[in-house]
């Protein structure tokens, strides 16, 4: 079902008019209320009067993740704190998270776009919606929750963990849809198979899956084993959370709600807007947000946009599967990992060299995370026990900082390539095609 026919099926001309109007209002609002943006625009020699249509967006400076950290926590807000009714945050590189503030109206927008996603997945008010995303600072739990509530579904706020109880609730309350990460869906599948409860006793039919990249193969496996239809829901904390985009029943790309979040594709090197149909870095402008609206936020995700009307009837622009990242952040088992974090941990340890090499792969639908490290000469021991102890120490240190546990491969002195300039320290073998 199409939740908001007017917004989702609007003609391109009409959409452009709406986007132009909203951009003008946004720029005026941000210029008046957000000092970093005002300064940026003044430096670039742009005033709100220069923005007359959506095409003028190219005149505006970009916003990066770094800006959000530099002005942590409130610097990027365009609304007074008294109007902010909710905070969400995502993990950052240096321990400082990225904090996003929402006004009451922002939450309304979020619930609106969220409901559009769920409706596209064939859900309605008769669904019992089991939300297994984490509730808290993470946008997943409360984002899916608000979307479900707005749709009129019966929302079960399960959050993460305690798989047995998850199964029990899903079974007893007759959940028809589940929101979780694709990897958790697979984990649940295994748990369900092990539990011995017949699949017929579950009413589950829809998976609202997101928050990490996943492959077609993974989708097939989830759909076959869990006997549901698995849909991708797309979102970024900086933009709003889950609900920025969604797949439709034809699963031919991610429909972006471009009446609220205006996407552009730019050349990641030069920052130039690329012609329609090009592959490049995805940039978003939040046309309607009040709390922390962002102008031309660089996602670092590489993809391509498709403007043709979809078979489903929606005219919202579609994004192809994300090809990769233009910077070095890795998403491993749903967790953001930066090589700089690994480096920081290794530098602090006296037993190992600061040189390392990360290899990420996906084996049996689970991300593998190997880090090759070199032990300093004086710390090599004569026995396996001593070396294994050292190995475990490195794992524990890294786990405490990055949140997931890597496989540490101890290697010989100077066996890791030393490069001049920017070191190549990551090999991501995963294929999301």
Partner 1 sequence: MTTKQLSIFLENKTGRLNDVAKILSESSINMKAFSIADNTDFGILRVLVSDTDKAYQILKQNGFAVKFTDVITLHISNTPGSLYSILDLLATANIYIEYMYAFSEGEQASVVIRPDNLEEAVKVLKQNNIQ
Q: Is 350 in the site for partner 1 (CB under 8 A)?
A: no
Residue number with CB closer to partner 1 (238 or 374): 374
Return phi, psi of residue 319, to 5°: -105, 135
Q: Which residues contact 284 (CB under 8 A, 6 or more apart)?
A: 236, 239, 244, 261, 262, 263, 264, 294, 296, 297, 299
- The interface region with partner 1, picked from 34-42, 184-192, 283-291, 381-389 by CB under 8 A, is 381-389
Q: Which is nearer to partner 1, 388 or 404 (CB)?
A: 388
Element (H, E) at 85: strand 84-90
Beta carbons within 10 angstroms of residue 255's beta carbon: 25
Beta bridge partners of 100: 88
The span from the CA of 388 to the CA of 394, in Å, is 10
413 counts as binding partner 1 under rule CB under 8 A: yes
Least CB distance to partner 1 at residue 410 (A): 5
Measured distance CA(131)–CA(357) in Å, rounded:
37
Segment lying near partner 1 (by CB under 8 A), choices 55-63, 358-366, 379-387, 421-429: 379-387
Using CB under 8 A, which of the segments 62-70, 81-89, 243-251, 412-420 binds partner 1?
A: 412-420
Residue of 186, 349, 375, 426 interacting with partner 1 (CB under 8 A)? 375
Stretch that binds partner 1, among 40-48, 57-65, 305-313, 410-418 (CB under 8 A): 410-418
Q: Which of 13, 43, 172, 382 binds partner 1 (CB under 8 A)?
A: 382
Asked whether position 405 contacts partner 1 by CB under 8 A, the answer is no
Query: Residue 359 Cβ, how far from partner 1 at the closest point, in Å?
Result: 13
> Tokens 């936020």, residue?
297
427 makes contact with partner 1 (CB under 8 A): no
| Cβ atoms of residues 341 and 401 within 8 Å | yes
CA angle 403, 407, 413 (to 5 degrees): 120
**Cis peptide bond prior to 362, omega within 30° of 0:** no
**Closer residue to partner 1 in complex, CB, 4/391:** 391
Longest dimension (CA), the chain: 74
- Residue 357 near residue 291 (C-beta atoms within 8 A): no
Stretch that binds partner 1, among 17-25, 27-35, 220-228, 405-413 (CB under 8 A): 405-413
Sole binder of partner 1 in the list 377, 420, 424, 433 (CB under 8 A):
377
Compute the least distance from the CB of residue 103 to partner 1, in Å.
52
Per CB under 8 A, 201 contacts partner 1: no
Is residue 415 near partner 1 by the rule CB under 8 A? yes
Which stretch in 94-102, 166-174, 242-250, 385-393 sits in contact with partner 1 by CB under 8 A? 385-393
Tell me the sheet residues that pair with 298: 283
Of 176, 184, 164, residue with least CA distance to 227: 176
Reading the block at residue 226, the tokens are: 């869990």
Please tell me whether residue 380 binds partner 1 under the rule CB under 8 A: yes
* Nearest by Cα to 93 from 353, 358, 401: 401
Kindly identify the residues of this chain, within the stretch 37-76, that bind partner 1 according to CB under 8 A: none
Judged by CB, which is closer to partner 1: 163, or 391? Answer: 391
What are the residues binding partner 1 (CB under 8 A)? 375, 377, 380-384, 387-388, 391, 409-415
């Amino acid at each position: 079902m199409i939740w908001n026919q007017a917004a989702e099926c609007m003609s391109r001309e009409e959409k452009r008019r709406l986007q132009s109007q909203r951009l003008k209002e946004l720029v005026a609002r941000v210029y008046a209320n957000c000092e970093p943006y005002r300064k940026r625009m003044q430096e670039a020699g742009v005033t709100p009067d220069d923005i007359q249509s959506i095409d003028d967006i190219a005149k505006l400076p970009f916003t990066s993740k770094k800006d959000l950290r530099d002005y942590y926590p409130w610097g990027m807000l365009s609304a007074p704190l008294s109007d902010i009714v909710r905070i969400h945050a995502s993990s950052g590189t240096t321990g400082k998270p990225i904090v996003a503030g929402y006004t009451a109206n922002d939450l309304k927008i979020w619930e609106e776009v969220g409901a559009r996603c769920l409706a596209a997945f064939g859900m309605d008010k008769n669904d019992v919606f089991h939300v297994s995303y984490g509730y808290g600072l993470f946008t997943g739990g409360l984002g899916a929750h608000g979307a479900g509530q707005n749709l009129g579904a019966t929302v079960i706020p399960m959050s993460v963990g305690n798989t047995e109880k998850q199964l029990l609730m899903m079974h007893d309350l007759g959940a028809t849809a589940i929101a979780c990460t694709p990897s958790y869906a697979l984990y649940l599948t295994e748990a369900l198979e092990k539990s011995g409860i017949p699949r017929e006793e579950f009413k589950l039919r829809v998976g609202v899956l997101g928050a990490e990249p996943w492959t077609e193969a993974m989708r097939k496996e989830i759909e076959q084993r869990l006997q549901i239809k698995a849909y991708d829901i797309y979102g970024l904390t900086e933009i709003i959370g889950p609900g920025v985009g969604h797949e439709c029943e034809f699963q031919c790309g991610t429909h972006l709600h471009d009446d609220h979040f205006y996407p552009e594709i730019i050349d990641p090197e030069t920052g130039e807007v690329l012609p329609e149909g090009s592959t490049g870095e995805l940039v978003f402008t939040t046309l309607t947000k009040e709390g922390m609206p962002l102008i031309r936020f660089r996602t670092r995700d590489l993809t391509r946009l498709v403007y043709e009307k979809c078979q489903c009837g929606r005219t919202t622009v579609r994004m192809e599967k994300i090809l990769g990242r233009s910077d070095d952040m890795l998403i491993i088992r749903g967790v953001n990992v930066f090589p700089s974090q690994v480096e920081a941990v290794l530098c602090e340890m006296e037993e190992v060299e600061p040189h390392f090499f990360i290899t990420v792969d996906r084996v049996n639908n689970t991300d593998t995370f190997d880090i090759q490290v070199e032990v300093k000469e004086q710390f090599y021991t004569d026995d396996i026990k001593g070396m294994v102890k050292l190995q475990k120490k490195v794992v524990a240190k890294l786990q405490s900082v990055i949140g997931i546990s890597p496989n540490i491969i101890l290697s010989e002195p100077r066996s890791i390539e030393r490069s001049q300039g920017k070191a190549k320290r990551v090999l991501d073998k995963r294929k999301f095609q």
